[in-house]
Amino acid sequence: MKTLATFSLIVLLVSCNSSEKKNTETSSEKKETTELSKKEETPNKKDDVSLPQQGDYASLFNLERKDCSFVTAADIATALNLPENAVKDISGNGYCNYDITLNDNSNWSLSFQWHGLSKNQITKEIKSYIDEDTPLTAQISKTQDTYLCIHPFNSWLFLYNNNYDGTIQISYCKVSCRKLDKEQKEIRKKLAITLGDYLLQKHQK
């Protein structure tokens, strides 16, 4: 009798342990399935970089020609609150170059250029600028529908809008500017951003 009772107790304990293990495994599987499901349902915010459009910028981004009609010396003077004679147009060969005398009497050499890029290429460029793992930076324009992307190493500002097959590049710190101190370079970067916003507002239809 004692042996039978002991055997029965062992069977009962094994059965309980097996049941608990099965319940634990089922619970673990259920939890894992839920987490995967949540992961699949969570969209990657960087997948869609399109912004709601507030106007038509075809006259700025769809140039398909090499001229500087999209920006003038008068535009630059107006955007930066400078006298018109403080901005000299020295453009040529598809490059829109300007010599500018700022309010502190310092000189600033600035250039604009249009580049033809496909919408897909522009989307890839935008993603590279909003990637947290790179030193590249991006901000949304005052018109709330275009990216102003800064390439700090080359002192370039790009106007990227993936609804168009083209981009505007502003080179805001050329060779002569690189001897300036950090504060002076930062001022020129902010002025370039002001110009980018101005161009978008000028061409917005």
Higher pLDDT, 34 or 193: 193
Task: Give the dihedral of Cα atoms 40, 43, 44, 45; nearest 10 deg.
Answer: -170
| Each residue's pLDDT tens digit, 146-165 | 999 999 989 999 999 999 99
Share of the chain above pLDDT 70, in %: 76
pTM of the shown model: 0.75
Q: Which whole-number Å values give the CA distances from 193 to 28, 65, 79, 121, 187, in the listed order?
A: 53, 24, 10, 22, 10
Across the chain, mean pLDDT equals 81
| Each residue's pLDDT tens digit, 81-92 | 999 999 999 998
pLDDT at 46: 55
- Is 50 exceeded by the pLDDT of residue 25? no
- Is 70 exceeded by the pLDDT of residue 171? yes
- Is 60 exceeded by the pLDDT of residue 41? no
**Looking at residues 30-43, what average pLDDT do you find?**
34
Residue 101's pLDDT band (boundaries 50, 70, 90)?
A: very high
pLDDT at 34: 34
- Is 60 exceeded by the pLDDT of residue 39? no
pLDDT at 44: 44
Q: ∠109-70-137 over CA atoms, to 5°?
A: 60
pLDDT at 65: 65
Show Cβ contacts of residue 81 under 8 Å, excluding neighbours closer than 6 positions.
103
